[in-house]
Structure 1
Amino acid sequence: MHEEVNEWSGDVLQRKKYADFLTQYLVAKKGPFVINVNAPWGSGKTFFIEHWCEDLKKEHPCVLFNAWENDFSNDPLLSVISCIEKDLSPLLSVTDKENNEIKSTFSSVGEYLKSIAPILARAAVSKAIGKDGLEELQQLNEKDSADVVEKVTEKLIQNNKAVEKAIENFEESLKDLIEKLTCNRSDLKKPLFIFIDELDRCRPLYAIELLERIKHLFGVPGIVFVIATDTEQLKHSVNAIYGSGFDSNTYL
């Protein structure tokens, strides 16, 4: 005998049963997981994601990030982490909110941005100097050129190490935060669900940068990512950044 499903209000397509199935499947995985909810524009992905998220909040910590509403940001990861803080902070107890370890979870965002800023700046400069800048660089004598290359390479290596360390620190802090939310409360349990909606509506560069930033969090234990996209449209975004000959399907 089938268990009766209490449908979502206004959902004439009766999709709650699919959300319930996915919840059971993803919770049973007992590990980090990423799933793509793929459907064309206008199919009701946002309705599905928002109602599914509301259901999950009864038993799991949840974060809902609307990528399209945040694609003005220069650093997508900062936007995601800010959303994590906004959605999860109310779930912490008063004691935990005053805990310095918890505070450091979100302050590490600033460390990450300071670490990655020089690399982003160099990338911007390399695009900005253009043909004229390249010609000026070519006029440097051999010794000057070698010195410039050596200094830039050394700095890039240092910055990359700083970025890797900052990301590692944030991953550890996020794991601790999940433990605080699920071990100190009787009403919440793992995993933490992070929903990324409207990714396919974003500027191509922002959409791809967002994916490439949050992939660092895909392997954090106790987190399930649910990404809602029109995958065909997202492929066009990938090709807009990497070129029409790029295998966007394999990339995604």
Structure 2
Amino acid sequence: MVAVDEGEFVLLNDLPVEDATLDLPGTSMVAGELANLIYGSRGSTPFVLAVDGRWGTGKSTLMRQLSEILARRPDVETVWFNAWTASGVSALTGMLKLVLGRLDRNVVRRAFRRLRDNEVLGGSLRIGAGVAASFFRLDRALDQLWAQMSVDARAREQARDLLATALGSWIDEQTGQPRHTIVVFVDDLDRCGEATAIEICEAIKLYLDLPGIAFVLGCDLAVLSRISLPAAESGGHVREYLEKIVQVNYQIPVAAEATVTTMIRGYAQRSRTAHLLTEPLVALIGRQCAGNPRRVKRLINSFVAEYQLDPRWREFGADGLLKSVLLQHLYPDLYREILTTGGDVLGGLLAYRAARDWLLTHGRVPTGEDLQAGRQLLVAYGISQPSAQDPADVWERAVGQFEGRVPEAWRLLAGNEDCRMLVRDLGPEPERLRLQHRLRRRPLSTAPTPVEPPAADEARYEGLRLLWIDASPAGNEPMIDGLTARGAQVRTSTDTRQALEILPLFQPNAVISDISRGGEERAGFEGLRVLRQAGYAGPALFFTSRVDDDRRRLAAAVDAAITASAGRVGEWAQAQAAVAAQPGPVDDRARGRK
């Protein structure tokens, strides 16, 4: 391999891949088979094929390749409908315009005249005899039709009649089948607002259910099946509605390990990071990102951007930065623990695993450096170490005490071998400490918060007014960004004094707080007690790096929950948002905080 200067890393784009030679996720073969299916079934139009998959799994790439293949087939026209820009009736008019735009102008003009002569088109849409030679008048009449469709149901029926009449010219009189096919691609349907998604489905079902038209929908059907239909009382009704629209569903499968490995290595080559992504790291990324192409690209891009934005990483080393980004993206609880806790947090995870295994096996695990550090950790947390002569319940009681005192991030990751491998790969204690000290002084600025609008199946937080109190807010920014992107209002303060100033102006209905501030181990508990005295009666959560029995007791004394998990914070916030959305007096909702 040609040596690459570390300053030449480049970002990866997130555009769908149309060129099969650049198709790292390996969807070109599937696109070819689906193209054969659609082309061979064109005599069975109308029909709808759904490309079903979660965010980032390659739906758009597959659809772009499918469109490119079909466009080369004879008697096939392909069009793309941008669902993002449509709203309300504009979804219907936009789709009708796209389809009519693919038809021969003479065909549309003759269809318009036929409907006029049969008095199907009424009112201002009835055009004069001169239309036979005037495309300008036809355009003007069509513009009138589109304008009336937003307010006139009859105009929508007239538009369908016009399209059906025009498409009728494609029908072979002998076989009764269309000689041409228009394939309409609608991507990201599940990411639209509910009203737009329903309007598009209604357009497909009621107005464009015509011979000669096929639809390819890109969506997550599991998300789409949860939209609110006017007459639906259950999820079953929604599924039945979708089954009437979608005739065949291709679900993007989980990629094979070899495909994922090839994809990651290909992205590494393009971004010029291949010399950093060792074989074990490639395997780790593939497993922890579940083969999702977008997650892999975002991880690599975060590394590239961080390296370019902060020149001091060039002095520290690209390898250490890459592993820091992996910690931030794949193990956010552990990354936050590093930012908010002193010492060797990563080494502590290894020691905790060794001590835990030693206790669980009643002292029968092999000895080693980690075990020695683990037994020292037991002493540090005040856990009496059982002896070989002690009965099983003594060992089990020690395990329970130990689990209740160590950081929750350690407990959650104790069995994660990928995380353990990554931590070991950071080197011995001096190198680990140097990296962690660097992150505490200057946390990573490229947080893995999604840039695009949240998917319909992601948690929503409208109505949540959250006051977040933390002396070191940097580690919370990704979570705060995620909450605000999903509709929450969040105000932050670094101490109780600022929180008291915000309280009457913002009137929060939820509070999250740290515990230790400025050397005071219980500042958060006292701060919440002050807020309660000032009139705040709503739910509260302490988000901290360490949860033990003493802290649980102190949190309960001020009527608050406590956690060390970022995931639990999201669940708690979602629950409070749901309470806030319930009708009824604010005080009653606040009292239901638990």
| TM-score range normalised by the length of the shorter chain | 0.5 to 0.7
Given residue 66 of structure 1, which amino acid in structure 2 is its aligned partner? N
Please tell me whether residue 28 in structure 1 is matched to residue 40 in structure 2: yes
Q: 2:440 corresponds to which residue?
A: none
Q: Deviations over 1:170-199 (max 9, x none)?
A: 2222443x57xxxxxxxxx73221111111
Please tell me whether residue 212 in structure 1 is matched to residue 202 in structure 2: yes
Given residue 157 of structure 2, which amino acid in structure 1 is its aligned partner? E
Instruction: Tell me: CA distance 1:106–1:174, structure 2 relative to 1, closer, same or farther (3 Å).
Output: farther
Q: Deviations over 1:85-135 (max 9, x none)?
A: 55x37xx5xxx569833765995574365256145xxxxxxxxxxxxxxxx
Say which structure, 1 or 2, has more relative contact order (CA 8 Å, 6+ apart): 1
Q: TM-score, length-normalised on structure 1? A: 0.62
Which of 22, 25, 30 in structure 2 is aligned with 1:18?
Answer: 30
Which of 234, 252, 272 in structure 2 is aligned with 1:245?
Answer: 234
The offset of 1:58, in angstroms, is 1.3
The offset of 1:219, in angstroms, is 3.2
C-alpha separation between the residues in 1 aligned to 2:226 and 2:68? Answer: 31
Instruction: Tell me: CA distance 1:109–1:28, structure 2 relative to 1, closer, same or farther (3 Å).
Output: farther
Which of 49, 52, 55 in structure 1 is aligned with 2:66?
Answer: 52
Please tell me whether residue 78 in structure 1 is matched to residue 96 in structure 2: no
Which of 109, 129, 141 in structure 2 is aligned with 1:100?
Answer: 109
C-alpha separation between the residues in 2 aligned to 1:106 and 1:22? Answer: 39
CA RMSD of aligned residues (A): 3.2
Identity among equivalent pairs (%):
23
CA contact (8 A) 2:25 2:58 kept: no
Given residue 28 of structure 1, which amino acid in structure 2 is its aligned partner? G
The offset of 1:165, in angstroms, is 4.1
The offset of 1:164, in angstroms, is 3.2
* SS at 2:222 equivalent: helix
C-alpha separation between the residues in 2 aligned to 1:174 and 1:234? Answer: 30
Q: 1:193 corresponds to which residue?
A: 183
Q: Runs of 4+ in structure 1 displaced over 6 angstroms?
A: none
Which of 221, 244, 247 in structure 1 is aligned with 2:211?
Answer: 221
Question: Larger helix proportion, structure 1 or 2?
Answer: 1
Given residue 117 of structure 1, which amino acid in structure 2 is its aligned partner? V
CA contact (8 A) 1:200 1:231 kept: yes
Instruction: Tell me: CA distance 1:16–1:107, structure 2 relative to 1, closer, same or farther (3 Å).
Output: farther
CA contact (8 A) 1:108 1:170 kept: no
State which drifts further: 98-107 or 54-63: 98-107
Q: Deviations over 1:15-58 (max 9, x none)?
A: 12211111222222212121111111111111111121122111
Q: 1:123 corresponds to which residue?
A: none
Equivalent residue pairs, number: 187
Given residue 44 of structure 1, which amino acid in structure 2 is its aligned partner? G
Q: 1:168 corresponds to which residue?
A: 161
- Equivalent positions of 1:105-124 (< 5 A) are 107-108=141-142, 110-111=144-145, 113-114=147-148, 117-118=151-152
C-alpha separation between the residues in 1 aligned to 2:61 and 2:139? Answer: 31
Q: Deviations over 1:111-165 (max 9, x none)?
A: 365256145xxxxxxxxxxxxxxxxxxxxxxxxxxxxxxxxxxxxxxx4xx6434
C-alpha separation between the residues in 2 aligned to 1:105 and 1:78? Answer: 14
C-alpha separation between the residues in 2 aligned to 1:23 and 1:245? Answer: 35
Instruction: Tell me: CA distance 1:216–1:84, structure 2 relative to 1, closer, same or farther (3 Å).
Output: same
| Uncovered stretches (5+) of structure 2, i.e. residues with no partner | 1-18, 112-134, 172-178, 243-594
The offset of 1:216, in angstroms, is 2.8
C-alpha separation between the residues in 1 aligned to 2:158 and 2:97? Answer: 20
C-alpha separation between the residues in 2 aligned to 1:99 and 1:81? Answer: 12
* SS at 1:206 equivalent: helix
| Uncovered stretches (5+) of structure 1, i.e. residues with no partner | 1-6, 120-158, 180-188
Q: TM-score, length-normalised on structure 2? A: 0.28
